[in-house]
Chains A and B, each alone.
Chain A
Amino acid sequence: MKKVYKLKKGLDFNLEGAALASDCANGKSVPTLPLPQVVAVRPTDFTGVQPKLVVKEGATVLVGDALFVDKATETIQFVSPVSGVVSRVVRGERRKLLRIEVQADKSQQYKQFATKSPAECAAADAVKLLVESGLFAFVRQRPYDVIASPSDSPKAIFVSAFNKMPLASDFNVACAGQEEDFKEGIRLLARIAKVHLGISPEQVNSPLLPVSEACVDIFEGPNPSGNVGVQINQVDPINKGEIVWTVGPEAVVFIGRFLRLGHVDFTRTIAVAGSELKKPTYLKTLIGAPLKDVLGDNLKRTEHVRIINGNPFVGEKADLEDFLGAFSTEVCAIPEGDDVDEPFGWIAPRLNDFSTSYSYFSRLLGKNRSYNLDCRIKGGERHIIMSGEYDRVFPMDIYAGYLVKAILTEDIDRQEALGIYEVAPEDFAVAEFVDSSKLELQRIVREGLDRLRKENS
C-alpha cells in the first residue's frame, strides 16, 4: 500500500495558455523540432558549479564530450548535447562563463560508452556511469540545492514525478512512450541509495508505475506539493549533516535512455505555454536549443512579451536570443505588462486579476477560471507586515517567515535551527507570489544558501 500524504497548504490557480495534455493524446505524437543549427550549454544552470572550460573555440566535439568541468571536483563534466564545432564561448562581467555554443553537424556523432544493466552495478559503478556520461550534472543535492558531489553518499534520492507550478509541463505527457527508460533510470539510482518517488494521485494508474525499486509515495494537495523539497520534508526531513540527492524526472529519463542506447541523448519533451502564444503545445527538442527555434512563429507579438525559461513561478526571465535551460521543462510567454497603465489599481475591483486575498472578488466568479497575468509586481517592496501569509502556502514544517528573516539578518545559527538545510528557492515560489510585501524570496533564499555553503566549506 502506498502512503498518501495529504497537504492542505499551497495554492492552485489556472493561467491562460496552458499546454494541454489532450492535444498530444489521441494517438497524435508530440512534434519534434528539427535539429537546431546552434545549441548552447549554460554553466549558470548548474547551481553551485565553478565552471572550468575544457574545450577551445573551434574544437570538434561529439554528443557526450565534455565542454567544461566543475573546478572543485574536476570529475563532474558538463557535456555537449550535439556533435559539431564549438563556435563561441560567451563570457559576461568579470569573465563569467555564460554559455558555450556548439554549431551542430548535419549528422550527429555520439560518444559511445560501455554501459551495464542496473542489476550488475554496485553503488560506485552507478555513480561512475553517471559521472562519465555527464549525466551526474543533473543530480542536485540538499542542503543548498546545488549540483551534488559524486564523492558523497546520500541518505536517499528523491524524484518527484509531477509539477504543479502554473503552466508547468505535465510529466506524463513528457514521458509518454519512454516509461521504460524512466523505470530503468530509477533502477540505476536505486543502486546508489534508497529512491523515493513522489507521484500525484492522478498518476497512480499511469504507465510510470510500477517501479518496485523505488518507494512510491502519493502527494495530494495544491502547488507546491510537486516540489521535491516539500516531499522530502514530509517523508524524511533532512537533518544537519545529512545529504539527500534530488533528480528531476526528465533527467531520470535521460539516464534510462543512456543505459539503453549506450550514449547520451538530451532530447526532452517540453511544454510551450502561455497566453502570448498562438497555440500552446508540447514539442520535442534538445536541451540548449535556441528559444527562437522553440517559439518559432508561435508568438502573438514580440514586444511587451515576457519569455520565460521555465514556468512563471520558478523560471528565469529570458529573451529570443536565449537557449533552453538544462533544467527547463517548459518555455512560457506571457504579457510583460510594462505597457499597462492602470489608474487606482490598489482600490479598483480588478475582476480579471488573480489574488489570494479576499479583498479581490475575482475568486467569486468561479474557481476554474483562467487568468491572464502580466509580470507587473503590482506593489512596492515593504518590510514583512502581514503575518502568516507565507505559512498558508508553505507545506513544510518550517516557519517560513522566521527563516526568511534569519536569512536577511545573516544569522547562520538561527537559519540552521529553523531548517534552512531542507529548503530550496523553488519551495518559496508560491510564498513569493502571494507576498503582499513583494519581497524577492527566491533570490533571498538563494543568496542565503550560497552564503551558508561558503561559510560551511
Chain B
Amino acid sequence: MIKKFFDKIRPHFEEKGKFSALHSVFEGMETFMLVPNTTSKSGVSIHDAIDSKRIMSFVVIALLPALLFGMYNIGYQNALAAGQLENTSFWAMFIYGFLLVLPKIVVSYAVGLGIEFTVAQLKKEEIQEGFLVTGILIPMIVPVNCPLWMLALAVAFSVILCKEIFGGTGMNIFNPALCARAFLFFSYPTSMSGDNVWLAKEQVLSLGYNLPDATTMATPLGEAAANHPISASLNDMVLGFIPGSIGETSVIAIAIGALILLYTRIASWKTILGVFVGGAVTALLFNFAELENNVASHMSCWEHFATGGFCFGAVFMATDPVTGSRTEEGKFIYGFFIGLLAILIRVLNPGYPEGMMLAILFMNMFAPLIDYCFVQRNINKRLARMKKK
C-alpha cells in the first residue's frame, strides 16, 4: 500500500515534475518508509542489513531514557523550588517538562533538517541521517530556559559551519551538537550558565508553578566553582534530581543509553572507558594536591562523574565515530585525554564550571593527531620491512 502511494506520486518529484525541487525530500521520505529495493551492481552481491539509518536510530533510542528523565526533572525542579513537591503528581511534572522540551526539539529538527534537505537537494544527494542524532542532542545539552530563537540560531550555525561546510556527515571535524552548544556558550553566556538558567519559572498550560524572578538554583558544579560546598546528595546526583542541562543530569538514564550503545557496538567501549579512567586519575591527583580555596579539587571522582555533563559527554559525545579517534588503538587515548581535560578545566578554570564540552571539542581537534601516530607506526613498520630486505 505504501509502495502504491509512492509510485503514484513519484512522477511529480522527478526531474521535470511539479515538485522537482523537493526531490531529495521525497526520496528521503520514501527510503524512510520503504527499504529501497535497489540491488548491488558491482562487488558483493549481498549486503549486511545494517545501514546508517539504523545506527542513527539506535543512538536516538539510546538517548530517549535521558531525554524522558530530563523532561520529568524539569517539572520536578520547578515543583521543588515552589515547595509543592508533595502536591504535584508525577505526570503533572513530566508533562510540564514535556511541554517545555517539545518546542525545542521541534525547532531543532525543523531548522536542522530544513538546512540538510536544502543542501541535499542542491548537491543532488541523498539526505544524510546524521542530523537525526544531532537534532535531539542539541536540545538535551542546553538549559531549560534557553530561548527558541537562540536554539534555532545555534542549530543553523552548527549544521552549516561545522558540518555541511566540510562535506556533511562523516566529514566534519568537530561534534556538531557541541559546536551548537559552544556557539551559545560564548555568544550568550548569560543564557547558558549562571544560577538563573536551570529552573523553569513559568506555568505552561496551567501546569507547573510560576516562580518569582529572583528564585535561582545553582548546579552542583556551579556551587563548586563558586567555592560553596555542594548541596545535593550523591544519591540525587546519580538519580538525576539536580539542576542541569535537560538531558545530562541522570546517571542512571544515561547508563541505560550506554548499555544500548555498547551492546550494539555503536559506541566504542574503549573511548568511554578512557574518559572515565582519565577523569578518575585527574580527580585523584587533585584530591592529593590539597589545593586551598578550591572546592572542585576536593570533589571525589564519583562526584565529578555524577555532576554536570561528564557521563552524558562520555557516552554520547566522545563516542561520535566521525569526530573521535578512528583507530582502535587511539580510542582509549582519545577518551583518556577528554576525561583529563574535563576535570582539569573544572578544577583550575574558575570561569567555566563545566569542562566537558571544551574537553571534547579540544580532543576532536587532536583525534587526527592521535590517529596519525598509529597509522604512521604502521607505515614505518612497512618501510622498515622494506629496508631490511
Chain A residues within an 8 Å CB radius of B46: 15, 166, 312-313, 334, 373-375, 433
Do A399 and B378 have beta carbons less than 8 Å apart?
Answer: yes
Docked-complex contact B326 and A346, CB < 8 angstroms = no
B214 within 8 A of A: no
| CB-CB under 8 A for A355 and B39, given A308-B45, A341-B34 | no
* Cross-chain contact B324 with A387 (CB below 8 angstroms): yes
What is the CB-to-nearest-CB distance from A354 to chain B, in angstroms, rounded to a whole number?
7
Neighbouring B residues of A355 by C-beta, 8 Å:
48-50
B122 within 8 A of A: no
Shortest B320–chain A CB gap in Å is 10
B43, A442: Cβ atoms under 8 Å? yes
Residues of B participating in the A interface, judged by any CB pair closer than 8 Å = 2-3, 31-55, 57-58, 126, 128, 130, 167-171, 263-266, 268, 321-322, 324-328, 375, 378-379, 381-383, 385-386, 389
Kindly list chain B residues whose C-beta atoms are within 8 Å of the C-beta of A317. 40-42, 45
- Least Cβ–Cβ distance between B362 and chain A, in angstroms: 19
Residue of A313, A376, A385, A417 with highest tally of chain B CB at under 10 A: A385
Give the contacting residue for A313; candidates B34, B44, B128; CB below 8 A.
Answer: B44
Q: A313-B44, A383-B168, A402-B375 are in contact. Are A339 and B49 (CB under 8 A)?
A: no
- With an 8 A cutoff between CB atoms, is A401 at the interface? yes
Q: A383–B327 Cα gap in the complex (Å)?
A: 17
Contacting B at CB under 8 A, from A419-457, are 419, 425, 429, 432-438, 440-443
In the complex, are the beta carbons of B37 and A380 less than 8 A apart? no
A15 to B45, CA, bound (A): 13
A399-B327 contact given A315-B45, A358-B265, A440-B42, CB 8 Å threshold: yes
- Beyond A317-B40, A317-B41, A375-B40, list 18 extra A-B contacts (CB 8 Å): A313-B46, A334-B46, A346-B32, A346-B35, A354-B49, A357-B265, A359-B54, A359-B266, A374-B46, A375-B39, A382-B169, A383-B171, A385-B321, A402-B375, A417-B383, A418-B375, A419-B382, A436-B54
B33 touches A397 (CB 8 A): no
Known: A398-B378, A418-B375. A350 touches B52 (CB 8 A): no
- In the complex, the answer to whether A381 meets B43 with C-beta atoms within 8 Å is no
Q: Are A401 and B168 in contact (CB-based, < 8 A)?
A: no
Contact present for A440 and B51 (CB under 8 Å): no
Task: Tell me if A379 is interfacial: C-beta within 8 Å of chain B.
Answer: yes
Residues of A within 8 A of B51 (CB): 346, 378-380, 436, 438
- Rounded to whole angstroms, the CA-CA distance of A401 and B57 in the bound complex is 24
A337 touches B58 (CB 8 A): no
Q: Which of A350, A379, A432 meets B53, CB within 8 Å?
A: A379
Kindly provide the distance from the CB of B174 to the nearest chain A CB, expressed in whole angstroms.
15
Q: Which of chain A's residues have a CB closer than 8 A to the CB of B321? A: 385-388
Q: Which residues of B contact A437 (CB under 8 A)?
A: 52, 170
When the two chains form their complex, are residues A382 and B35 in contact, meaning their CB atoms are under 8 A apart?
Answer: no
**Would you give the shortest CB distance from A245 to chain B, in whole angstroms?**
18
Q: Name the residue of chain A whose CB is nearest to the CB of B170.
A: A383
CA distance A192 to B44 in the complex (A): 34
Dominant secondary structure at the B interface: loop
- Determine the distance from Cα of A241 to Cα of B382 in the docked complex, in whole angstroms: 13
- Are the C-beta atoms of A374 and B39 separated by less than 8 Å? yes
Q: Which B-chain residue is minimally distant from A383 (CB atoms)?
A: B170
- Cβ-based interface call for A239 (8 A): yes
Q: What chain A residues lie within 8 Å of B35 (beta carbons)? A: 340-343, 345-346, 376, 378
**Interface check A44, CB cutoff 8 A:** no
List A residues at the B interface (Cβ < 8 Å): 15, 166, 237, 239-242, 306, 308, 312-315, 317, 332, 334, 336-347, 350, 353-360, 373-388, 391, 397-399, 401-402, 417-419, 425, 429, 432-438, 440-443
Given contacts A337-B39, A432-B43, contact A379 B322 (CB under 8 A): no
Nearest A residue to B328 by beta-carbon distance?
A: A388
Residue from B34, B44, B382 in contact with A342 in the complex, judged by beta carbons closer than 8 Å: B34
Residues of A within 8 A of B52 (CB): 379-380, 382, 385-386, 436-437
Q: Which of A341, A346, A397, A429 contacts B57 (CB 8 A)?
A: A346
Provide a sorted-by-A list of 25 A–B residue pairs whose CB atoms are within 8 angstroms.
Answer: A15-B46, A239-B385, A312-B45, A338-B39, A341-B3, A343-B2, A343-B33, A344-B33, A353-B49, A373-B46, A375-B47, A376-B39, A379-B50, A383-B169, A383-B170, A386-B266, A388-B326, A388-B328, A417-B379, A418-B382, A419-B382, A440-B43, A441-B43, A442-B42, A443-B42
- Chain A residues lying within 8 Å of B34, measured Cβ to Cβ, are 341-345
* List of A residues within 8 angstroms of B327 by Cβ: 387-388, 399
Complex contact B328–A356 (CB within 8 A)? no
Are A239 and B50 closer than 8 Å at their CB atoms?
A: no
Kindly list chain A residues whose C-beta atoms are within 8 Å of the C-beta of B55: 357, 359, 385-386, 436
Contacts of B386 in A (CB 8 A): 239-241
Q: How far is the CA of A47 from the CA of B203 in the complex (A)?
A: 73
CA distance A388 to B83 in the complex (A): 51
Cross-interface CB contact of A401 among B50, B265, B326, cutoff 8 Å: B326
| A382 engages B382 (CB within 8 Å) | no
Q: How far is the CA of A344 from the CA of B52 in the complex (A)?
A: 14
* In-complex Cβ contact of B50 among A237, A376, A432, A434 (8 A): A434
Q: Assuming the A-B contacts A399-B378, A418-B379, are A357 and B33 also in contact, with contact meaning beta carbons closer than 8 angstroms in the complex?
A: no
The 8 closest A-B CB pairs, nearest first, are: A379-B51, A383-B170, A345-B35, A442-B43, A346-B53, A387-B326, A375-B39, A357-B50
Q: Indicate if the CB atoms of A377 and B38 lie closer than 8 Å.
A: yes
The reply to whether A375 and B45 form a contact with Cβ atoms under 8 Å apart is: yes
Q: How far is the CA of A350 from the CA of B51 in the complex (A)?
A: 13
Is A417 a contact of B39 with CB atoms below 8 Å? no
Q: Are B381 and A385 in contact (CB under 8 A)?
A: no
Q: How far is the CA of A315 from the CA of B44 in the complex (A)?
A: 7
Q: Closest CB-CB distance, A310 to chain B, in whole Å?
A: 9
Interface residue from B45, B48, B263 paired with A334 (Cβ < 8 Å): B45
> In the bound complex, do residue A346 and residue B45 qualify as a contact, i.e. CB atoms below 8 Å apart?
no
- Name the residue on B nearest A306 (C-beta): B45
**A408, chain B: closest CB distance, angstroms:** 12
Identify which of A419, A436, A443 gathers the most chain B CB atoms within 10 Å of its CB: A436
